[in-house]
Each structure stands twice: as C-alpha cells, then as structure tokens.
A and B are shown apart, each in its own frame.
Chain A
Amino acid sequence: MTPIIATDAAATCADWRLQIEPLNEHEETAITAQIHHYPQPQAATIEALKIVQEQQGWVSDGKLKAIAQRLQMSPDEVESVATFYNKIYRQPVGRTVISLCDSVSCWIMGYQGLAQALTQELNIALGETTTDGAITLLPAPCLGACDHAPVAMVGDHRAHKLTPTSLILLARQAREQSS
C-alpha cells in the first residue's frame, strides 16, 4: 500500500505547485528580508501574507501557494495562519476598507447608529463589498482609540468622534477618490 499513498501525495504536491501565482520582484525581496529576521522561514508567514495583501488588496489562492513554496510550508499550513487572523483577507475587498469599531466604548457612544447609517448609504450589510468594488464594510474589534469613540478606520485613516453624517461623508470621499 505504501507506494500508492506516496504516489498520491506526490501527485497532490505537483498539482498545487502548478497553481502558483509567482511572487513579483517586490514581494520576493520584501519577504526575503523578513525571513532573515527569524531562525525559521515559517516565522515570516504573517509578514509574507501582509506583503502580498499590500500589493493585491487580498491574498489569492495562487499567491498563498507561492508563499507556501517560498517558506517551505504546505499550502494548508499557510492557509491555517491566513484564516486565523482578522486582517488577512482571503477574498477580494473593495478599494477602501472601512472597519467600524463595534466594541464596548464605541457601542456605548453610538456604534449602532453609525452601522445603520452606513449600511443604508452603501446599500450593503457588514462584511460585504459595494457592487462597484469601491468599499468593503467590516465590523472591527476594539481599535484602541476609545478616548475618541466612536471610531472607524477608513483605509489607513483612523476617524474619530464620528456621527452618521461625518462617517457618510468620509465614505463618499473614499468612493470618489477611488473611482
């Protein structure tokens, strides 16, 4: 029986390597630099996923497999890490991601009103992307800016003391800038 299992494993191996979407030069350089920080290449998994995501906006199956090959891991091992962390996107997101803090201080200070206003404005539910691909709306655990509650991240920008009106204006600006 042993040879059959070995052959199957080899076939599976060959299959995933064919599906690799090669890392570009920037990704390769940046990931290599991170690998040098650690005694084992696997330790750079999270950095590698973030580097690819920074380029593409998300981590595709093909890129995930390229990371696996580069870090000498199986795709499943990389996948187990990718799916664990909130900030690694395994499906495409909009050009701007709005992360709306739904934790306790922001909840007390008006999260529900913000969520209601923004889902109406964008015509999507939390966790969805607008049909034009401009904005993805995500709920976020405590963003650590409770002194400015309620808050949201609009792309890289942390927006403070939001009202439904100010949040909708920010979303509209993000949409205009990305179109």
Chain B
Amino acid sequence: MTDSQAMNQHIDQPLSQNIKADGSVTTLAEYQSNYGYQGLAKALSMSPGEVVDWVKNANLRGRGGAGFSAGLKWSFVPPLEKLPGQRYVICNADEMEPGTFKDRWLMEHDPHQLIEGLAIAAYAVQADTAFIFLRADYDLCAERLQHAINEAKAAGLLGEQLNDAGFSLTMLLHTSAGRYICGEETALINALEGKRAIPRSKPPFPQVSGLFGRPTVVNNAETLCNLPHILYHGIDWFANLGIGDDNGTKIYGVSGRVNNPGCWELPIGTKVADILALAGGMQDGVQLRGFLPGGGSTDFLTVDHLDLAMDYGTIQHAGSRMGTGTMILLDDQTCVVGMVLNLIQFFAQESCGWCTPCRNGLPFIRQILTELEEGRGQHEDLEHLLELCGFIGFGNTFCALAPGAAEPLQSALKYFREDFVAHIEQGCCPHGNSPKVDTGLEKEARFL
C-alpha cells in the first residue's frame, strides 16, 4: 500500500468529497488532484473479468432502488468469445422518482466521477459505447456533463486505445424528453432507440439482448459513482464504510416540512433518526407522522420506525423499501389522503399505458381517492382500494410502475386508516384539502 492510499483509508464520504459548498463544478484538474481517474487506470491494468469479480466481491448494490448487485448484473453479459461484437453500457440518470434528487446533486457538482465510473463499467463488460441517459429537466447537469466528457476526451481519458489491450470508449450524452417510465431499464432502452418508452418483456434480459439487440448493462448514476473509489481503495475499505450488512455509503435525502431539506452522504445503514437530525428537525408547529423511505413508490413507515437502519434488508423487513434513499416526510398538518392522491395522480399520468392493470387501475384508484378526499367516499371504498392494490401488484403487470404506485396507498391504509375514515364520516377533508401551515401561501395568494 502506498502512503497516499493509506491516507485515503480515512475517506468516509468518497462520493461527495469533491463537492464544493458554493455549488460550482469540480474541474478535471481538481478531480485528478484527488486520485481522479486513477480507479479507471487501475481497472484498465486488470482484465475485464477481474474488474467484474472485484465489484461483485465489493457487493455494490444498485442505488437506483432495486438494490441488485452491480457486479452480478455485469456477470450476466456473455463473454466476448461466446458473443462477439457490439455491446453497450448505459447510465440511468433519468431520475424522476418523486422526492428524489440525489443523482442530480452528484452530477451537477462532480460530473467526472460519473464519467469515470461509467468508463469502468464499460471496460468490465467490454462495451465500446457508453450512453448517459439524462432526464429532460436537468439542464445544468447536461451542460456540465457534456463539458466534462469533452474535457476527458481532450485529455485522452476517453477515446481510442485507453490501455495496451486496445480498449476504446465513446461516451455520449442523451437528454430525454421526459417520462417517468424511462427510468425502467427496458423502457429506457426503447427510449434510447428513439421509440415510445414502453417496457420490454424479460427474458431476454438486456445483458443478453438490450440496446439495438446487443448485450447492454444499465446502471444507476449513484451506483456508477461508487466504482472509481471501489477500484482505487479496494474491497475491504468499501465494506468497512457501511454500518450493517450493506457496504459503502449512501446518498440520503430528506424533503418535506423540515428546517434543512437536502441530501447527505452517510454510511449505508445510518439510522433514520440520524438522517432526520441532519435535516434540522421538523419546522415549528408541525409534528412528524410518517415517511416514505425512498421515494414516492415505497411504503409509508411511521414514527415507530425512526430507530431503523436505512439499509436494504432492515427497511424491507419493516415492510417497505429503501428505494432511492431519499425520504419524503408526512407531517400532521398534511392530509395523508391528499398526499396519496397526489402520488397516484403522478403514477396514473406517467403510466405508459402498455398493460391494463396500470392503464385502467391507476385512474380508477385516482377516482376513488378523489371522492374520498372531497368527502364523498364510503366505508366500502377502503376495502375496494386494498383490492385494487392487489390487482395492480407484482405479477399482474409488465413492470414495477403500478406495483410501486400501490405501495404508499396500501401502507397509508394500514397506518393512517383513521384519516380515511375521518374523510368519510365528516364528509370533507379535515385538513381543508391542502396543507395549512408554513408560509401562509394560500392566504398570501388571496390578497394578490
């Protein structure tokens, strides 16, 4: 081990170490002064198979929500000897999960980290073309990523003959035109082919037949950002970063009525309460009631779950999913029926319409929730909603959009049933159909 590596053993926030407080972007020179592109150099000195094993052994789990092992995902790509020819890697940066903003934070501030990670993934699966699939609204990310790709190309870090074995890589930025379903990896592949973003049936899995029918790996942006550090510092270092069963760090986020909404890089497995403490606690006059742990398509947890570790296993055991790790908070001044209606409205609108449970089920649920929210609901509606959650659940749909949409609804009915009942019995929304505290927005609006 070199001295610099020994010193770097103390790095506990690798992904955000270059992020500057003033919001400016890390330049190539700044990035390289802090072991930037040395992880890629190390990977390029190894065989692609060794890189796959390295990442598999590091147990880097997908940070986009599913938590699948990145190395294992790569290992399903057939070896070049068996299936020669073109193959692709794609960075899934179509971050559109409601309440999620972590990939934007990483890409806006340190685009080279993503580029290096994507290049490592490309080398591991022997892809000569890599795409960054960026969501439509991330204009600043697009500008900074394109600039960084150009910088890396000019510096010879991307392009032809990157190692003695002759590995070459072209990296291209594709900016989407906006649809949540593009985040589903096979729908994303269709979108990149210039088609409607509709999920494909699996098998064949993209690793065998993906973009243009060629072997393709799709990894989330945060997942890729981990790779340079795992290659440079090693597997033991990565394993020691995590608190519980999982390895590494996680970008956790908090939004809602807290004093300091934002995101922070913390050891994976940090307690929910500790993350909330960084968010500065609840605003004056509001109490926390529950939270969606990892975006809009995860089940609610409650104040009874604040001591849980935010890792894949613990949150799943509690009946939800860590998802993207960016929490949305429900407070006592916000109507839970209205909040779930808002989420269902999002998923109904963003459904691609390909399969019936999602296309028809979500608008049906939206209708029932609208009537409940407006005080026209009946007690049997609640059982009906639960039944519909089953109809649109896993096994009945083409992809995870509708099953994900069911998660906040079914858990709201479990933990906050009394709120639904109050709407029925009072014949109106007890919250007046909108949040009432905070900035006095509505009062202000009336006087304008």
Which A residues contact B (CB, under 8 angstroms)? 37-40, 42-47, 49-50, 71, 80-81, 84-88, 99, 102-105, 107-110, 112-114, 116-117, 120-121, 140-149, 153, 156, 158, 163-165, 168
Among B99, B175, B434, the residue within 8 A (CB) of A105 is B99
B386 at the interface (CB under 8 A from A): no
A105-B328, A144-B135, A147-B261 known; A164-B96 Cβ under 8 A: no
Contacting residues, chain B, for A84 (C-beta < 8 A): 179, 196-197, 352
Q: Is the CB of A80 within 8 A of B444?
A: no
A109-B438, A110-B438 known; A45-B96 Cβ under 8 A: no
The residue on A at minimum CB distance from B181 is: A84
Q: Is the CB of A141 within 8 A of B441?
A: no
A50 to B136, CA, bound (A): 10
B35 at the interface (CB under 8 A from A): no
Q: Is the CB of A85 within 8 A of B176?
A: yes
A149-B255, A164-B441 known; A120-B99 Cβ under 8 A: no
Q: Is the CB of B194 within 8 A of A107?
A: no
Of the A-B pairs whose beta carbons lie under 8 Å apart in the complex, a sample of 10, sorted by A's number, is: A37-B172, A43-B193, A46-B176, A81-B194, A102-B342, A103-B99, A114-B441, A144-B104, A158-B139, A163-B441
A81-B194, A144-B96, A165-B448 known; A87-B136 Cβ under 8 A: yes
| Residues B121-176 near A (CB distance < 8 A) | 135-140, 172, 174-176
Interface pairs A-B: 8 shortest CB-CB = A113-B441, A85-B177, A45-B194, A146-B255, A86-B178, A87-B178, A117-B445, A105-B255
A40-B193, A146-B255 known; A140-B137 Cβ under 8 A: yes
Q: State which of B225-233, B266-274, B343-351 sits at the interface with chain A.
A: B343-351
A112 to B431, CA, bound (A): 13
Q: Is the CB of A104 within 8 A of B343?
A: yes
A81 to B36, CA, bound (A): 39
Rounded to whole Å, the gap between the CB of B6 and the closest CB of chain A is: 35
Q: Is the CB of A108 within 8 A of B177?
A: no
Among B177, B178, B255, the residue within 8 A (CB) of A147 is B255
Among A49, A107, A110, A140, the residue within 8 A (CB) of B177 is A49
A39 to B194, CA, bound (A): 12
A86 to B96, CA, bound (A): 13
Rounded to whole Å, the gap between the CB of B354 and the closest CB of chain A is: 11
Contacting residues, chain A, for B349 (C-beta < 8 A): 141
Q: Is the CB of B445 within 8 A of A108?
A: no
B116 at the interface (CB under 8 A from A): no
Q: Is the CB of B448 within 8 A of A164?
A: yes
A97 to B292, CA, bound (A): 31
Among B101, B138, B176, B448, the residue within 8 A (CB) of A146 is B101
Q: Is the CB of A113 within 8 A of B445?
A: yes
The residue on A at minimum CB distance from B105 is: A147
The residue on B at minimum CB distance from A84 is: B196
Q: Is the CB of A86 within 8 A of B136?
A: yes
Contacting residues, chain A, for B216 (C-beta < 8 A): none
Q: Is the CB of A141 within 8 A of B346?
A: yes
9 further contact pairs, Cβ within 8 A, besides A103-B99, A158-B137: A45-B195, A50-B177, A85-B176, A86-B178, A103-B98, A104-B346, A105-B328, A141-B98, A158-B139
| Residues B209-261 near A (CB distance < 8 A) | 212, 253-257, 261
Q: Is the CB of B135 within 8 A of A107?
A: no
Contacting residues, chain A, for B175 (C-beta < 8 A): 50
A97 to B175, CA, bound (A): 18
A120 to B263, CA, bound (A): 34
Q: Is the CB of A104 within 8 A of B296?
A: yes
A142 to B328, CA, bound (A): 13
Q: Is the CB of A144 within 8 A of B138?
A: yes
A44 to B172, CA, bound (A): 13
A104 to B338, CA, bound (A): 10
The residue on A at minimum CB distance from B170 is: A37
Among B179, B262, B448, the residue within 8 A (CB) of A85 is B179
